[in-house]
Amino acid sequence: MAPASADKCPVDHAAISQPQPQDKCPVDHRSLAPPSTDACPVDHTTRSTWSEILPHSSDTISPHPHPANVPTALSSSREMSSIPRKDGENWVYPSEAQFFAAMARKNHNPHATDMRVVVPIHNAVNERAWGDIMRWETGRGGEKCGGLKLVSFKGKPKELSPRARFMTLMGYAPPFDRHDWIVDRCGTRIRYVIDFYSGRNTQPGSANVSFFLDARPALDSWEGVKMRASRFVEKWVGSIFQSPSTAPSGKKDP
């Protein structure tokens, strides 16, 4: 074996000699940054699913979307939700301009006029979802620590929940969207599954839309199982043993 050259160092100085940027930190601070206080309690990577509830179809794929080209006529004002965060602030809903840009980023062809319709609907539906969750949480002690908080959320429009899959097999239309919300009740975290269904328009020819929300605790924790079992007992078993109400006789008391 030929001896190694006496003037060759075993260390690769080429890598060491490369100057390192002085303003570069080896830690990815994006992962350490707190969540934005002006975020909305919806995973808006799936916001384009709301195109299905617009008065006319916005499902046409745009071959060259330009999310930055948001019509100037769209409002940039945002509505504060009633949904509390862990940091004491409330979640904030997107503006018309933000909603338009998000749908364009998903390669949909949004219409500016639709934003004045879909944004208020989006906000109202999510307020209703929070109201349904609060009804599940009634009497479960959340008020002892300042009330229930929404910790995180994730949209899963293409992933049917077990209940939605069963309802679809029974012949019902699938939900147009699904969210999983993680709420905090005094340190106990519960995952809620929310299926969003389009309702039937009772007025033919009307552009009004209706919704049905199915919000319930997921069965992935003992707390969720207890809550679902308790609701089943209250709704079905309790009604069997409930005394029938006395029908009014139509006579006034003397």
**What pLDDT sits at residue 238?**
62
Residue 18 resides in a domain = no
Q: What is the radius of gyration, based on Cα positions, of the chain?
A: 27
4-47 pLDDT tens trace: 555 555 555 554 444 444 444 444 444 444 445 456 665 555 54
Higher-pLDDT residue of 249, 212 = 212
CB atoms within 10 A of CB 187: 6
Residue 245 resides in a domain = no
pLDDT band for position 159 (cuts 50, 70, 90): very high
**What pLDDT sits at residue 239?**
59
Residue 25 resides in a domain = no
pLDDT at 148 over 70: yes
Cα distance from N-terminal residue to C-terminal residue, the chain: 121
State the total domains in the chain.
1
Q: What is the residue-averaged pLDDT of the chain?
A: 75
- Residue 3 burial (C-beta neighbours within 10 Å; 0-12, 13-18, 19+): exposed
The percent of residues above 90 in pLDDT, for the chain, comes to 34
CB atoms within 10 A of CB 175: 23
Helix (H) or strand (E) holding 229: helix 222-232
- Rounded to an integer, what distance in angstroms lies between the CA atom of residue 233 and that of residue 221? 19
The percent of residues above 70 in pLDDT, for the chain, comes to 61
- 3-class SS of residue 8: coil
Residue 6 resides in a domain = no
| Most confident among 89-103, 176-190, 240-254 (mean pLDDT) | 176-190
Residue 249 resides in a domain = no
Using an 8 Å Cβ cutoff, are 211 and 196 in contact? yes
- What are residue 82's phi and psi, to 5 degrees? -95, 10
Q: What is the mean pLDDT of residues 133-152?
A: 94
Q: Which domain holds residue 117?
A: 35-200+209-238
Residue 4 resides in a domain = no
Residue 24 resides in a domain = no
Residue 16 resides in a domain = no
Per-residue tokens: 20: 């390192």
Cα atoms in the Cβ-side hemisphere of radius 13 Å centred on 27: 4
Using an 8 Å Cβ cutoff, are 156 and 180 in contact? yes
53-87 pLDDT tens trace: 544 333 333 333 444 567 778 888 999 999 999 99
**What pLDDT sits at residue 200?**
67
Alpha-carbon dihedral angle through residues 159, 47, 136, 189, given to the nearest 10 degrees: 80
- Rounded to an integer, what distance in angstroms lies between the CA atom of residue 156 and that of residue 167? 17
Q: Which residues pair with 182 in a beta bridge?
A: 152, 191
